[in-house]
Amino acid sequence: MNSTQALNAIGSCLALAMERGLGKNGLVFPVECKEAEDDTFQNSCQNLQQIFAQMNESYRFAEALANGELKTEVSRSNIFAMPLKALQASLRHLTWQTNQVADGDLSQQVDFLGEFSLSFNRMIKSLRDKKSLEQRLKTITDVLGEGVYLVDTEGRLIFANPEAERLLGYSFQEMTGEMVLHVIHKQYADGTFFPPEGTQLGTAIRTGQAYNSDDCVFACKSGRLMPVSLACRPVITGGKLEGTVIAFHDITEQKKYQESLQTINALLEKQASTDTLTGIYNRLKFSKLLAMEISRARRYQSSMAIIMFDIDKFKEINDAYGHQAGDSVLIDMARVVNANVRTTDIFARWGGEEFMVIAPSCTLDQGVQFAEMLRFRVAQTTFSVPRKVTASFGVSVFRSNDTELSLTNRADNALYRAKGNGRNRVEAEDAEAFYHQAGASRPPTS
């Protein structure tokens, strides 16, 4: 083969490659070197053949790199592959760097790799910024004095701060990925379990609603139910619900304080409404209860009797045996009567040695019978003074246009007559006088 023939063969081989690409077999050198006409030409053919082989090899090497295969080797003498080897080294290095970042190493920089460096170093910077922001947030939640949980949309725990660990006794490790509410929030304060449909907090987490409560309890690892004040807020990123933050603190002390306040208030209320000597209602409380009973009787058109009574010759007892003896007579009187009134009746000290009984649902006759029973019991009782103690009773009955005053006045008048008629007796209100005076309708007297 002469040089012209060889050049033509090489030319058409290259033309085909430029038209169709290298294909599966690459460039095939079209000249048999041994058949070249002289040694110089044979030498040139061999060099060209080697160049063809190097181009084929570097093409395959480049293809491997393009596919991300970084372990492919290429022969040292291949001059076309040299920059590709540098590229391969750069890519291997970037792979390592990326793995480092994935493992949390943010101390690396990529140097002198053009746009790779720019992008990588920008990523590192932004991750460092994010990390320092996270660190700041972590420091904040660490010192917050408020337990903080972060849960995903299904309620699985993603984050717990040290205060949350301290309050409930569960470490973050043992709770990670747990459905946190299933562990800590399954009971009411009294220990009964929630119904299967769950709770408002559970619903808030599922639906991404804000929720606040001062009435929840969380179960500690120790089993204790801790009353907590909690605030829950959805975490929404790009319009999508990502999870919920639950912040809570222990309100055991506040609850105790509230309870003691309630106890004190109840005590104060009792004191304000109780006669200190006898322990029964005082006049102030009596007035309030009478007003309520009047409006009730008026609304339901029910009857109601009022019994006013007074210890006979109490001044003589005081004068003869002293005030202490008088006080013990008052105490005994309250005890005897209290033991004989119905639970629905209201018994109070009206003042001095005067007492009042409200007997709901009683007609005048029933009220009189009731008063008579009380008079009898009192007369039967042995008091702590060496003499017989009796009481006089006046009875009135509610009428639709009565006021507290008119009702008690009529009982007072009846009592006055009982005193006048010899004491230790019961007198009913003077019905005729009342009707005459007020022109009201006659009360039921059955």
Q: Measured from the CB of residue 138, what is the shortest distance to other proteins in angstroms?
A: 20
Q: Measured from the CB of residue 116, what is the shortest distance to other proteins in angstroms?
A: 11
The CA-to-CA distance between both ends of the chain, in Å, stands at 150
> Rule CB under 8 A: is residue 76 a binding residue for other proteins?
yes
Residue window 32-71: x/- pattern of binding to other proteins, with contact defined by CB under 8 A: ----------------------------------------
> Rule CB under 8 A: is residue 93 a binding residue for other proteins?
yes
Q: Measured from the CB of residue 62, what is the shortest distance to other proteins in angstroms?
A: 14
> Rule CB under 8 A: is residue 92 a binding residue for other proteins?
yes
Q: Measured from the CB of residue 82, what is the shortest distance to other proteins in angstroms?
A: 5
**Phi, psi for 240 (deg, rounded to 5):** -115, 135
Q: Measured from the CB of residue 240, what is the shortest distance to other proteins in angstroms?
A: 34
> Rule CB under 8 A: is residue 108 a binding residue for other proteins?
yes
Integer Cα distance of 444 and 441 in angstroms? 9
Only one of the segments 23-31, 102-110, 230-238, 341-349 lies at the binding site for other proteins (rule: CB under 8 A); that segment is 102-110
Listed residue (221, 220, 181) closest to 201, CA to CA: 181
Compute how many residues bind other proteins; rule: CB under 8 A. 22
Q: Measured from the CB of residue 90, what is the shortest distance to other proteins in angstroms?
A: 8
Looking at this protein, which amino acid is placed at residue 301? Q
Only one of the segments 74-82, 226-234, 240-248, 436-444 lies at the binding site for other proteins (rule: CB under 8 A); that segment is 74-82
Q: Between 83 and 352, whose beta carbon lies closer to other proteins?
A: 83
Q: Number of helices and strands (H, E) in the chain? A: 15, 10
Residue 381 to residues 27, 332, 374, 387, Cα–Cα distance (Å)? 134, 9, 11, 11
Spell out a b/e string for 320-342, using b for 16 or more CB atoms within 10 Å of the CB, else e.
ebeeebbebbbbbbbebbeebbe
Integer Cα distance of 402 and 297 in angstroms? 11
> Rule CB under 8 A: is residue 118 a binding residue for other proteins?
no
Q: Between 122 and 442, whose beta carbon lies closer to other proteins?
A: 122
Q: Between 79 and 292, whose beta carbon lies closer to other proteins?
A: 79
- DSSP H or E run through 304: strand 304-311
> Rule CB under 8 A: is residue 96 a binding residue for other proteins?
yes
Position among 56, 58, 78, 278 found at the interface with other proteins (CB under 8 A): 78
Q: How far is CA 390 from the centre of its chain?
A: 61
Position among 4, 67, 107, 173 found at the interface with other proteins (CB under 8 A): 107
> Rule CB under 8 A: is residue 111 a binding residue for other proteins?
yes
372 close to 426: Cβ distance less than 8 angstroms: yes
Beta strands in 139-282 (DSSP E): 147-151, 157-160, 211-219, 225-237, 240-250
Partnered with residue 427 across adjacent β-strands are 394
Position among 109, 200, 271, 295 found at the interface with other proteins (CB under 8 A): 109
**Contacts (CB under 8 A) with other proteins, residues 383-412:** none
Listed residue (28, 39, 35) closest to 6, CA to CA: 35
Position among 7, 14, 89, 140 found at the interface with other proteins (CB under 8 A): 89
Listed residue (171, 129, 131, 178) closest to 151, CA to CA: 178
* Residues in touch with other proteins (CB under 8 A): 76-79, 82-83, 85-86, 89-90, 92-93, 95-97, 100, 105, 107-109, 111-112
